[in-house]
Amino acid sequence: MKILVTGASGMLAADVIPELLKEGHSVVQTDIRKHSKDINILDISSYDETIKNIKDTQPEYVFHFAAETDVDLCEKNPQYAHKVNVLGTENIVLACREVGAGLLYVSTANVFNGEKSEPYVESDEAGSINVYGRSKYQGELIVKKHLCRYFIIRAGWMVGGWELDKKFVYKIIQQLKQGKKNIKAVFDKAGSLTFTKDFAVNFMDVINTQHYGLYHMANKGVCSRYDIAVKIVEFMDLKNKVKVFPVESKEFPLPAPRPRSEMLSNHNLELLGLNNMPFWESSLKEYIKINKDK
């Protein structure tokens, strides 16, 4: 299958693209920045550029990963978040409609307000408390409005790419590598993890069903960032040298409010018999084992 990928220089694409190439797909890689020679420059916020690129490529599918993913930057600059995450997605959707391509849009647990005590299922009502979540949800609505052949897959806290990861897991690993002996991590917010490697290995099974629609795809089990930090220390064999302290989120004030819960249940994958995502602890252990000596 011929697939055009947006956001090909990003963290998720770094694991998805090798998997697609391994399966024999023809992959056209695009991004706003050229992370490698295989990337074609495409700014999805330009309508003309997007339509031309997709018309020239004539892909069967577009895997749309490009987004402004910095939650705090989105909060500080909502117009920019709208330009990339909403208008950029609209451009992709219109281009897909023009050439008859299917679309995979990756969304987030941030679309929910976080007040539910159980993990969120696909039928739960959205209601994000930050700009990033609202922009990603608006993207979902545009996809649903204009296309029939689409998959929207919501991921949890994403982990992957090692040094490409700008988020919590790599930040803690860096602190440990720098010899920090006391680590503080937030215990009062819960979430589900999505390892990009597990996503990459499992998502094509869903696409191949042609059961279009909305799916959650998170690793099994839920945790706080404190739970994750404890496990990182254990898997890096530093249990006797490093202490992890649970702290409240107010100790780390951030520009964007974070929902109390970003826990996801892969209910629709269960219904298809395709909930093959591993438990988060085993994926974290494997991730650290493979990368820790880099």
Ligand X SMILES: NC(=O)c1ccc[n+]([C@@H]2O[C@H](COP(=O)([O-])OP(=O)(O)OC[C@H]3O[C@@H](n4cnc5c(N)ncnc54)[C@H](OP(=O)(O)O)[C@@H]3O)[C@@H](O)[C@H]2O)c1
Binding of ligand X by 44 (CB under 6 A): yes
Among 5, 7, 17, 120, binds ligand X (CB under 6 A): 7
Site residues for ligand X, window 100-119 (CB under 6 A)? 106, 108
Among 28, 39, 93, 155, binds ligand X (CB under 6 A): 155
Residue closer to ligand X, measured from CB, 33 or 52: 33
Write down the least CB distance from residue 50 to ligand X, Å: 9
List strand residue ranges (DSSP E) for 109-216, in order: 150-155, 157-159, 182-186, 190-191, 193-195, 213-216
Are 51 and 98 within 8 A, CB to CB? yes
- CA 93/CA 141 separation, integer angstroms: 11
Are 137 and 93 within 8 A, CB to CB? no
Site residues for ligand X, window 167-206 (CB under 6 A)? 167
With vertex at residue 65, the alpha carbon angle to CA 94 and CA 87, rounded to the nearest 5 degrees, is: 40
226 alpha carbon, distance to own chain's centre: 20
Residue closer to ligand X, measured from CB, 9 or 138: 9
Binding of ligand X by 142 (CB under 6 A): no
User: Virtual CA dihedral for 86, 133, 158, 226, nearest 10 degrees?
Assistant: 160
How large is the angle between the packed helices 11-22 and 196-209, nearest 10 degrees?
50
Residue closer to ligand X, measured from CB, 85 or 275: 85
Write down the least CB distance from residue 294 to ligand X, Å: 18
> In the stretch 66-85, what mask flags binding to ligand X with x, by CB under 6 A?
xxxx--------------x-
| Piece in contact with ligand X (CB under 6 A), picked from 40-48, 117-125, 169-177, 265-273 | 40-48
On the 0-12 / 13-18 / 19+ scale of CB atoms within 10 A, 273 is: exposed
Are 152 and 216 within 8 A, CB to CB? no
Residue closer to ligand X, measured from CB, 47 or 238: 47
Among 142, 158, 206, 274, binds ligand X (CB under 6 A): 158
Binding of ligand X by 19 (CB under 6 A): no
Residue closer to ligand X, measured from CB, 70 or 188: 70
Are 280 and 192 within 8 A, CB to CB? yes
Residues that bind ligand X (CB under 6 A): 6-7, 9-12, 31-33, 42-45, 65-69, 84, 88, 106, 108, 136, 155, 157-158, 167
